[in-house]
Structure 1
């Protein structure tokens, strides 16, 4: 698969260099990405032994918190691209200064979220459909955990700083340490201190604050080493917010697609929504693997463009597309081979398994498409091409929505719904591929 046919052939040594860079950044990034859902799994396992109502409350509060935090994932993406450009330009002081602007923005946004969530927690829980027995637990967990949102957002922004500095190992180590601390604190506070679900919330808050503190120590140390200012800069914070707005639109559009898909699956029947939840869990896990490659793309592309090496950026893009196709083929094959074992892990209901199987095959076949989509998405993020990504995602949402909503009318069940999801990824592929071939994303310099 060739992205820029006019480019000269690359020496094998250049390909190997690109491969080493990709692996060095992508493997630790994948570990750090997986750590966050493990937080929720650990909390669920610990709280689950308190009772069904407590676990239901945790599920509702966690869904609200995850949504709130994921909306601000642009803090990591935009910061990665901006910092990587300045690293490529050889201006490390400016790179860290840019990262500090993102961290200050994270703190401001976190404070705003707390101001909204604390007084409205009961209403949010009610709107989410919590039962009378689960609602008090959900409200308690949500209110306490919201105090850790600034730390969570600082972790996002600081992770973006380190990725831009071509360092994905530190986020991995911090994520592992945070996961271990979270588990130990939860057990000690939930059972040892007898705080119940409140103990789980406080354990998560403390773990997130500790992670943020470690990140800040690393960033502050780098700032002192390179003479970068740590003071908040209004112009810089405003610029970081403006750079994040297009990526926020992109993220909201993508989440709208996932919400529509789940809503349609729910209308198809209990077996379909159960099977959909299994498929969506697998799809999300596969997305983590591909997103790790995309993160490597963000960091590497930003650095090349910052260094003024347009041809190097094109070469990396082409090589990463090859990686995306290969990764997609491998993941798709793994899905096909593991399906006899995978489905029984989640359900003993033969109806649910039979419903999920055809959709699982579609997911497997679509992985090469997903691989290229994630790669090109990361490349364009690394190029700070946020406005195009936003409009492309809104266009994809507009195409996908009527197709998905018509599935219950025209039939086909869950298989048709996941075929619509494949159509959505194909639309993303086409829009991203067109942009990549146009070359308009190749804008060199320390800033865009």
Structure 2
């Protein structure tokens, strides 16, 4: 690990693979706990100060915003991949150009996207068949959080740049600030002032915007050589094309994934507010057991990018299975523990018996199989890190549209709609197997050949 100014940078090209991955993943893992915490506080506040329809509204209304954001947040992932490769190769001028172009892209997309979200959001909610009692809350929540799109995208872009540089500690600090702001505003606006869903939405948007501003200040101070700015100052056309070439397929993948979840949510909505609220509560509790997935997946992307950029192919091949496997084992252990004690944990969020029953069923059906998703996602992010986008995109899209959605609707058609969440577990396991087949492709065979040549001098 090297120190750059006041910022710590983890060099993934040397040392113990799992040790460096864990060192990088730990701050992100703690950050995921904080994210879960303030998402959990949102749900706790709504569950205790509002009714089931408000809980269902927030769970539903967040999904149209994800569709708007996913396509372009994929570009943020593309930036992170390019930064990690440039860092591995020691190309500082390229890193400056990447940062400048990312700021330009943020404003070029974020501002129009906010306008589109405000206009099209309510229409999407109607297409999703949001229950009548939840619709007013859903429209209110979506409208307010849409105003925070620029902050949301800006924070995610900047966090991606920092991760690409090998600095995951700073993202933890920024997220901690965001978490505290969100919790204080949640309790003040919704718990104290009785603003209900609007208070939670304002708290979420304000926290994201402030995190974005803090991230800009941090990058400017910790990495002055990047000449990072808050406002756009031009862009590099060639780098923008590279960002889009990698990021748009990732974003399209994410957008199609989110759109698929809109179809699933539409099915869930036909089962009533209690079912939707139960799934929402279960997701909050299940998130406790799956905090390692995102952190190890981020480590896999940066590890792959840095070692690919540094042309350390032998190390690249070893990390390809070690990091995803470690993520799967940690997730399996957490999933089994949380499943065993899920009922008292779920009861913290709601006292509605019907909601609790659905939440417990969801946990039993999904959480014990989430380790398969951890392995799947770890391999996918590793592959993305070496610049391979097509294969994981195809697998991810087919997984959702050929396995998960048809299985859920088939269960509903057969009269087992209350068990539609089983489709998630099925897709996790099928996806893991499909992603393993990447290691039989010609691209991976070429990398293994370069690794063999490297080992033999």
TM-score, with length taken from structure 1: 0.79
Partners of 1:25 and 1:166 within 8 A in 2:
yes
Q: Aligned-pair RMSD on alpha carbons?
A: 3.9
Deviates most, 114-123 or 51-60: 51-60
Which blocks of at least 5 consecutive residues in structure 1 are unaligned?
1-13
Partners of 1:276 and 1:356 within 8 A in 2:
yes
Partners of 1:103 and 1:158 within 8 A in 2:
no
Which blocks of at least 5 consecutive residues in structure 2 are unaligned?
1-12, 451-457
The answer for the alignment partner of 2:31 in structure 1 is: 32
Deviation by residue 1:136-172 (Cα, 9 ceiling, x = unmatched): 7765654454332112101111111000011111011
- Tell me whether 1:323 sits opposite 2:326 in the alignment: yes
- Tell me whether 1:332 sits opposite 2:335 in the alignment: yes
Displacement, 1:82? Answer: 1.1
The answer for the alignment partner of 2:86 in structure 1 is: 86
Match runs of 1:221-370 below 5 Å? 221=221, 224-225=224-225, 231-267=234-270, 275-345=278-348, 360-370=363-373
Deviates most, 265-274 or 278-287: 265-274
Report the CA distance shift for 1:403/1:297 in structure 2 as closer, same or farther (over 3 A).
same
Q: Distance in 1 between matches of 2:438 and 2:56?
A: 44
Q: Distance in 2 between matches of 1:356 and 1:43?
A: 17
The answer for the alignment partner of 2:180 in structure 1 is: 180
Q: Distance in 2 between matches of 1:374 and 1:149?
A: 25
The answer for the alignment partner of 2:9 in structure 1 is: none
Q: Distance in 2 between matches of 1:54 and 1:406?
A: 29
The answer for the alignment partner of 2:168 in structure 1 is: 168
Match runs of 1:116-265 below 5 Å? 116-120=116-120, 123=123, 142-185=142-185, 204-221=204-221, 224-225=224-225, 231-265=234-268
Q: Distance in 2 between matches of 1:163 and 1:139?
A: 34
- Tell me whether 1:68 sits opposite 2:68 in the alignment: yes
Report the CA distance shift for 1:274/1:58 in structure 2 as closer, same or farther (over 3 A).
closer
Deviation by residue 1:53-108 (Cα, 9 ceiling, x = unmatched): 98887666555445533453313322221111111111133234224323322222
Q: Distance in 2 between matches of 1:390 and 1:139?
A: 31
- Tell me whether 1:407 sits opposite 2:406 in the alignment: no
TM-score, with length taken from structure 2: 0.78
- SS in structure 1 of the partner of residue 341 of structure 2: helix
Displacement, 1:21? Answer: 1.0
Displacement, 1:370? Answer: 2.2
The answer for the alignment partner of 1:5 in structure 2 is: none
- Tell me whether 1:22 sits opposite 2:21 in the alignment: yes
Q: Distance in 2 between matches of 1:410 and 1:97?
A: 55
Q: Distance in 2 between matches of 1:87 and 1:421?
A: 37
Displacement, 1:238? Answer: 3.4
Deviates most, 406-415 or 209-218: 406-415
Q: Distance in 2 between matches of 1:295 and 1:98?
A: 19
Report the CA distance shift for 1:361/1:72 in structure 2 as closer, same or farther (over 3 A).
same
Displacement, 1:132? Answer: 8.7
Deviates most, 98-107 or 178-187: 178-187
